[in-house]
Amino acid sequence: MFHFFKKKDNKFILGAPAKGKAVALKEVSDPTFAEEMLGKGMAVIPSEGRICAPADGEVGMVFDTLHAVSLTTDFGAEVLIHVGLDTVKMKGEGFTGHVKAGDHVKKGDVLLEVDLDKVKAAGYDVITPMLVCNTDEFSSVTGIYGKDVEAGDDAVVIEK
């Protein structure tokens, strides 16, 4: 009856990394993501080029080509945000980094910016997977998709 008094210490939420349409990983045309080889999560087809932190945490790595960033959340999830498919071949063209390894970020902080039109013009898909790479350390990792999202909207539920 008094469920609202129960602590929810075992459940965490990652926010969407960008504004756009939230989709299942199986909709990503790269099998590495679609088959969850790197972890479970979700993807966003972004409508804006601001890529934001999905939770409070420490930036682990910003790829030299600025197409991907990893962070470890304050609750221990190792998150990879990969902007577009094969965008590593753009060698950073059209991408702007706003953080570096070791930075502590808050949910919603801008990590990267990407010129989506430039990515599309170069012939690349802009779909942006967000994965929990240490999925096996949690009892469940469930993506929330099938709707339009703003950066920061609930996107992945993680249970310890």
Residues assigned a catalytic role: 82
Q: Is 77 helix (H, G, I), strand (E, B) or coil?
A: coil
Distances in Å between the Cα of 8 and the Cα atoms of 1, 3, 4, 109, 112 are 16, 10, 9, 25, 31
Q: Are 149 and 19 in contact (CB under 8 A)?
A: yes
What SS3 state is found at 27? helix
